[in-house]
Amino acid sequence: MTIVFNEEQLALRDAVRKFVGDHFSSERNRATVDFADGHDVTAWKLMAQQLGLQGLTIPDELGGSDASVIELAIALEEMGRAVTCSPFLSTVLATEVLRACGDDEVLGDLLPGIAEGTTIATLALSVGEGSGRGLTATTNSGGTQLDGVLNFVPDGQIADLVLVPASEVGGNSLFAVETSTAVTRTPLVTLDHTRKQAQLSFDTAVGRRITPEHGEGGERLARALDVVRTLIAAEQLGGAQQCLTMSVEYAKTRSQFGRRIGSFQAVKHRCADMLVAVESARSAVLYAVEAAAQGSDALRLAAPLALTTVTDAYQYCARQNIQLHGGIGCTWEHDAHLHYRRAHAATALIGDGRHHRALLATRLGM
């Protein structure tokens, strides 16, 4: 499989790049970091009204554009380049899980608001230590109620809708919860200031079942999570590419000992190593994106391969970017540290490179 972007996809990339440049510049991102809700509400509304990005993969009849995962990955790569302060990733990840697992009634109720930009959604699937004690679901005559605590929920402090896994008698299921119903939100101070996270405490919160009862439909959810992995990888690819671009541009302009530092062999080697890492990650990510768009079984292996490759590449490039910039790269005023923080904090969303290498090995029967 080989992706060759058509004219419409290239036009989308250019439009998103311009929008990101206009509304998520370095200066505006830094201002947004201090906002209590962690994002620019005006930019969020314009994103829906002018480009319809929140509804890219949502069906036409529900207010979306009925585009493919390819278009969504293109948008996310551009978002990743700018380290955008926006709940866009959280919302589209939740959308993809809803599309894969929800029935027509659920989709009809929940997706139009996302497409319009009036609903911010998120997916609570943090892994590892400190992610919370998990949720339990209790079903009675009044419906299903959820109790428990989840930590590190991306954009949880502003999300109107959150998708959460919960254990119940007979297995685990996925539920959609409107955060206005018995959910206490506590903002957390985390490594990545450009992507706010929160602790969500559920006290008999009303949950709407997304997957079938008693954990059935696990295959659909598993595939949806592979799409989630692929989209996270697409955003990280944009960040890794930007770190490479920043390093090369600085090497061309910074002088030391009477020469551009890009003329030094050691600097050339570092930039070349970054290029190899980024292009290797790009190949893996595009393969997974096309597999997801085509509904191919290859996604089962392609998704964890893409994410482990690009996670390592992003962290490596972010580290090299700071070192190549020297002292200025360590300062708060420079963007290099924003990428470094994003590269490492992103592992809290769904696991680090080691986690996905283990998943890949398991799926290969190793």
Calpha distance 351→312 (Å, rounded) = 12
Taking alpha carbons only, the member of 6, 119, 5 closest to residue 63 is: 119
Question: Are residues 192 and 346 in contact, defined by beta-carbon separation less than 8 angstroms?
Answer: yes
Calpha distance 138→207 (Å, rounded) = 10
Q: Where are the alpha helices (DSSP H) in the chain?
A: 7-23, 26-33, 41-46, 69-81, 88-101, 104-116, 218-253, 265-294, 299-325, 336-345, 347-350, 353-363
Give residue 214's pLDDT.
Answer: 56
Using alpha carbons only, what angle is made at residue 281 by residues 240 and 127, rounded to the nearest 5 degrees?
Answer: 80
Structural domains present in the chain: 7-119 (1.10.540.10), 123-215 (2.40.110.20), 218-363 (1.20.140.10)
Instruction: Give the tokens for residue 309.
Output: 């490759």
Query: What amino acid occupies position 77?
Result: E
Query: pTM for this structure?
Result: 0.93
CA distances from 213 to 27, 114, 172, 266 (A): 48, 25, 8, 58
Residue entry with tokens 């079903």: 139
Greatest Cα pair distance, the chain, in angstroms, is: 79
CA distances from 176 to 122, 217, 323, 349 (A): 10, 15, 43, 18
Residue 134 region by backbone torsions, left for phi larger than 0, else alpha for psi between -120 and 50, else beta: left
CA distances from 280 to 42, 106, 306, 310, 350 (A): 37, 39, 9, 8, 21
How do the pLDDT tens digits run along the chain, 366 residues long? 567 899 999 999 999 999 999 999 888 888 887 776 778 899 999 999 999 999 999 999 999 999 999 999 999 999 999 999 999 999 999 999 999 988 899 999 999 999 999 999 999 875 444 444 678 988 887 788 999 999 889 999 999 999 998 888 777 889 999 998 889 999 988 888 889 999 999 998 999 999 876 555 578 888 999 999 999 999 999 999 999 999 999 999 988 888 998 889 999 999 999 999 999 999 999 999 999 999 999 999 999 999 999 999 999 999 999 999 988 888 888 899 999 999 998 887 777 888 899 999 999 998
Question: Are residues 266 and 257 in contact, defined by beta-carbon separation less than 8 angstroms?
Answer: no
Calpha distance 65→214 (Å, rounded) = 33
Give residue 172's pLDDT.
Answer: 81
Query: What amino acid occupies position 75?
Result: A
